[in-house]
Structure 1
């Protein structure tokens, strides 16, 4: 039978009664006995009586409607079935009743989301309940190629992450932007989730579509504890991305004005000699020794002119300044580029140090 869009006051009255839970099971049985056609009506948003009962979690009415042989998998205007609505609203009893009645657990909404995607935000155990019915969809991707595990991380639901991993979710699936769950945990500062993902085999050096590894994300968003954890787990401390001119985590930290992370990365081995050959090319592409020499002399003059005690903390390997002069004479432009790059970092670190001191002064003045 074709469903009809209802304009009948009786239908709206019943919907209001569902909201209030103002009619007993016996009264519902009497209503359905007198007028069975009400189960066929839909509202202007294409919601059936079953959609409304699922939304409000009226389990007894769901059971009565199922006995009337209603359509279990009809879609509202948002492409959601009654079961989907029950999951979104976190109505675990309604979900159980609909699954028991035979509702399809593998449906998707208009965004390509499965029940598992939306269940990641459940606080009533719906996710685990659904996994027992449709675990084959555990790695199903939405329109953005994100799996339920991506969702669980984005929603910062560590419990959902753990549940999905325990049921066998693939920890190394990339979304449309090449981001794996570990990238997302790194950007959000979720240390426990990050460790959980790593313990289940997450690739610590997985690259997104811009060749950013999780360490780039942790540095960019200033999450020191995650930076340290990723490096300890084997993250490539001098990995170069391709976003813009190509940045190492150290360069990202400098751009983000994070002196603490800059120092931490340096202490953990950033900018070893073999790496300098790469990053200096990034910093000074296509520059002639003559051009570099002019800039070098300007920087060196500034260092000689201004005595700053804080430079003792930030200007490491000062003897390289002397090597630079010899490198110019010998035509060793690559070594000279390396020295220039170190000088650039020193200037940045002095600037950052001054910023931090000024901030501390302002805080003490306002206290």
Structure 2
């Protein structure tokens, strides 16, 4: 299963500028008959000079669906095995079960990737808990991969066996971030309802490397059902993302999504929460000429006179839009948002 030194050197020389491709690339490539028949040397040659890797970032190029089948057969962990056979195969099984590929994957990672769910369930029961949290070279745990592939029964089994929900992959995403991005409600539900309150609180507040919490991710990807699930578990609606200070309400306004705006307002979000530049959700709605959203924010009591760091109120951004200007009472004359005459 290991490469020779020369082969490794050739691979490293040609791979210096490559980017690992991820789980979706693996799923399409692993089913290509031509790819599965190529030798390791042919794969190295075919990938030289390309900007992106063709081989999976989640599995060693020396392991295929067929070789995983050999692993399953050799491990002999099925029920009904007699004691003599178990003793004879014990050392070999231990070696196989503790193998880590050149991409950092354990056999459990591989079972999940190849969608060998029955085998994965067996491995989860066999592995001690600390091995269930091993991260591969992309910092993905088996729980990350099971979530990526929407294997909610595997997610349920892993969570029941006490795996960490807080570990982050190379993008800073927890498994719950992944579920919220992809809209996998069943996976998210298993994690949320089986986690202890203390652990769940940390996960709900965790930000990925773009500064987004799970609620931010669900909002950006318009995963409304997941937003409701997070709200039921007491997620902080006013948490600011780490780059510009937007709350989920700001993001919903930017998407012109009246439903999500209503959902957040009805759940108690702060209508006047400001970004780092001082803009409220009303500033964003008016600046985007979105009269429907601006009207809903005004109905929720949005303060029309809050000034951002450019010293602008929402009215200053109306830019002659009659539908939006109608939302603002004219009990005085203003120039650039400043009162010059009171009546």
TM-score range, shorter chain: 0.5 to 0.7
1:96 equivalent in alignment to 2:156: yes
Partner residue, 1:79? 139
Whole-angstrom distance in 1 between the partners of 2:67 and 2:279: 51
**Local SS of the residue matching 2:262:** helix
**CA apart distance, 1:189:** 1.2
Change (3 A) 1:205 1:66: closer
Indicate if the aligned counterparts of 2:272 and 2:280 stay in contact, CA closer than 8 A: yes
Distance of 2:291 and 2:74 partners within structure 1: 59
Identify if the C-alpha distance between structure 1 residues 193 and 50 changes in structure 2 by more than 3 Å, giving closer, same or farther: same
Within the candidate set 304, 318, 327, 1:268 is matched to: 327
Alignment correspondent of 1:127? 188
- 1:212 CA displacement: 0.5
CA distance in structure 2 between the partners assigned to 1:63 and 1:163 by the alignment: 27
Give 1:208 shift.
0.7
Task: Give aligned pairs, total.
Answer: 268
Kindly provide the CA deviation profile for residues 278-317 of structure 1, in whole angstroms up to 9, marking residues without a partner as x.
Answer: 6259xxxxxxxxxxxxxxxxxxxxxxxxxxxxxxxxxxxx
Alpha-carbon distance, 1:68 to partner: 4.5
Matched with 1:41 is 99
- Pick the aligned partner of 1:147 from 191, 198, 213: 213
Contact kept? 1:54, 1:83, Cα under 8 Å: no
Which stretch of structure 1 is more off in the superposition, 167-176 or 142-151? 142-151
1:158 — aligned with what? 224
Find the counterpart in structure 2 of residue 362 from structure 1.
none
Tell me, which stretches of 5 or more residues in structure 2 are unaligned?
5-38, 40-59, 79-85
State the shift of 1:14 in Å. 5.5
Counting only pairs closer than 5 Å after superposition, residues 4-23 of structure 1 correspond to structure 2 as: 6-7=2-3, 15-17=64-66
The structure having more radius of gyration, on CA atoms, is 1
How do residues 187-206 of structure 1 correspond to structure 2 at under 5 angstroms? 187-206=254-273
- Aligned positions of 1:201-350 closer than 5 A: 201-242=268-309, 245-254=310-319, 262-269=321-328, 272-273=331-332, 276=334, 279-280=337-338, 334=340
Q: Following the alignment from structure 1 to structure 2, what is the Cα–Cα distance between the partners of residues 28 and 273?
A: 84
- For residues 76-112 of structure 1, the C-alpha deviation after alignment (integer angstroms, 9 at most, x for no partner) is 1111111111112221122122223332223222343
Q: 1:210 to 1:191 in 2, by over 3 A?
A: same
Alignment of 1:346-357 (within 5 A): none
C-alpha displacement at 1:183, in angstroms? 0.6
2:172 aligned residue: 112
Q: Which position in structure 2 is the counterpart of 1:343? A: none
Moved more, 230-239 or 211-220: 230-239
CA spacing shift, 1:18–1:155, aligned 2, 3 Å: farther
Alignment match of 2:127 (pick from 50, 69, 86): 69
Q: TM-score, with normalisation over the residues of structure 1?
A: 0.64
3-state secondary structure, aligned to 1:42: coil
TM-score, length of structure 2 as denominator length = 0.68
CA drift of 1:38 comes to 2.1
* Cα-to-partner distance string for 1:250-274 (whole Å, 9 max, x where unaligned): 33342xxxx6xx1122212255426
Asked whether the 8 Å contact 2:99–2:107 carries over to 1, the reply is yes
Unaligned runs of 5+ in 1: 282-333, 339-367
